[in-house]
Structure 1
């Protein structure tokens, strides 16, 4: 991979035509050519977390997920708010990382998007506590709540609201700045 940096994004919604996934797809335009940006889209395939399955012979999809995150310099998580929390499918994915430590000191940004006026804040607060417990490095300017998302993005997830677009650009810039500070490991 050389000096190239890798950013992996995960949507907390597995719904087809998800606003959260659309937001992540549109973030790709904010990254420069020296950053590999991809969206990991297999969390809907994960088995329910079970510590009895979390061993050397664990589920293949989980091993692939962990490897993807091991190779990533940063992670961007974009999620809706369900019942004032994050969707179960995203929490399940995070639970699979507790014992393996992929989030330890990992550069992370978190976006919550909700159609509700006050939506997203409760989910984000709860999610940030989980990420803190796992010692993730949530970067300065690396959190964003997009309430009333339908008034700020078009159906393709493109920011039509100037302030939202600027906030998304700042979030990406913060991720890039943080990962470029880290030196490549010696091989």
Structure 2
């Protein structure tokens, strides 16, 4: 069983990115299990003085989850042409750890307009030594209300696209 950790970079209750990672978890193909990380809003602000024995519990939960996962999927909104602070903070907690080094990762998108955040996130994750999969999933959910989002994510072609990208990512993980 391939274990994948999915992280939404949004803290909004009606986040399209969170809806997308939840849908990925529901549509995982056989042999693939997706767990959605829900602690982004509870992470303390990264401080290098709080590493090692002083690592806060919630940061340890994230570090352990990334370490134990076979791969990581990130769905990230764009704020002011960049990566939201909460997601960047989570990644900062991983910088001096081995959790990210050569960890297979893939980006998925709920908005076709998040080009600046995609580029910034790709740069950050490559700098951290994540092994980025070139396969990408984009389902345009921007500006949709929760019932519309759920209907779009339930469409057969989108469910198939989610299964296909997860299968491709599982293959990427297995080939490493």
User: When the two structures are superposed, what TM-score results if normalisation uses the length of structure 1?
Assistant: 0.82
Structural RMSD (CA): 2.3
Q: How does 1:57-136 map to 2 (within 5 A)?
A: 57-114=54-111, 119-136=113-130
Q: How does 1:106-185 map to 2 (within 5 A)?
A: 106-114=103-111, 119-141=113-135, 143-146=136-139, 149-150=142-143, 154-156=148-150, 158=153, 160=155, 162=157, 167-182=161-176
Structure 2 residue ranges without an equivalent (≥5) = none
Q: 1:129 to 1:161 in 2, by over 3 A?
A: farther
| 2:16–2:141 contact (8 Å) kept in structure 1 | no
In 1, distance between residues paired with 2:6 and 2:12? Answer: 16
| 2:29–2:163 contact (8 Å) kept in structure 1 | no
| 1:86–1:123 contact (8 Å) kept in structure 2 | yes
In structure 2, the partner of 1:185 is none
C-alpha displacement of 1:85: 0.9
Q: 1:165 to 1:120 in 2, by over 3 A?
A: farther
Q: 1:31 to 1:144 in 2, by over 3 A?
A: closer
Structure 1 residue ranges without an equivalent (≥5) = 183-187
C-alpha displacement of 1:103: 1.1
C-alpha displacement of 1:165: 5.6
In 1, distance between residues paired with 2:53 and 2:61? Answer: 13
In 2, distance between residues paired with 1:57 and 1:39? Answer: 26
Q: Secondary structure at the match of 2:21?
A: helix
C-alpha displacement of 1:86: 1.3
Length, aligned pairs only: 173
Q: 1:79 to 1:179 in 2, by over 3 A?
A: same
In 1, distance between residues paired with 2:56 and 2:141? Answer: 38
User: When the two structures are superposed, what TM-score results if normalisation uses the length of structure 2?
Assistant: 0.87
